Amino acid sequence: MELTEKQIKSFRELGYIFIEDLFQTDEIELMNNEAKAIYNIERPEVVKEKNGKAIRTVFGAHTFNNIFSKLARHPRIIEPTMQLLGGEVYVHQFKLNAKMAFDGDVWQWHQDYATWKNDDDMPEGLALNVGLFLDDVTQFNGPLNFIPKSHREGYIDSSHDTQTTSYALWTINEETISELVNKGGIVSPTGKAGSVVFFDSSLVHGSPSNMSPWNRTIVYISLNRTSNHIRKFTRPEYIAHRDFDPIKCLNDNCLQEKV
pLDDT of amino acid 259:
59
Residues of the chain under the 50 pLDDT cut: none
pLDDT of amino acid 167:
82
- The DSSP code sequence of 139-187 is SSS---EE-TTGGGG-S---EEE-SSSSS-EEE--HHHHHHHHHHH--B
Task: Give CA–CA dist 225/216, Å, rounded.
Answer: 29
Residue 22 gets which letter from DSSP? -
Task: For domain 5-256, give its CATH number from 3.40.1160.10, 3.90.245.10, 2.60.120.620, 2.60.110.10.
Answer: 2.60.120.620
- Specify the pTM: 0.95
Task: Give CA–CA dist 79/215, Å, rounded.
Answer: 29
Nearest alpha-carbon partner for 97 in 43, 150, 54: 54
Which residues make Cβ contacts (< 8 Å) with residue 250, sequence separation at least 6?
A: 70, 73, 74, 75
Percent of the chain with pLDDT over 70: 100
Q: Do strands 205-207 and 127-133 pair parallel, antiparallel, or not at all (unpaired)?
A: unpaired
Domain residue limits, the chain: 5-256
- Mean of per-residue pLDDT scores for the chain: 96
pLDDT of amino acid 232:
98
pLDDT of amino acid 144:
97
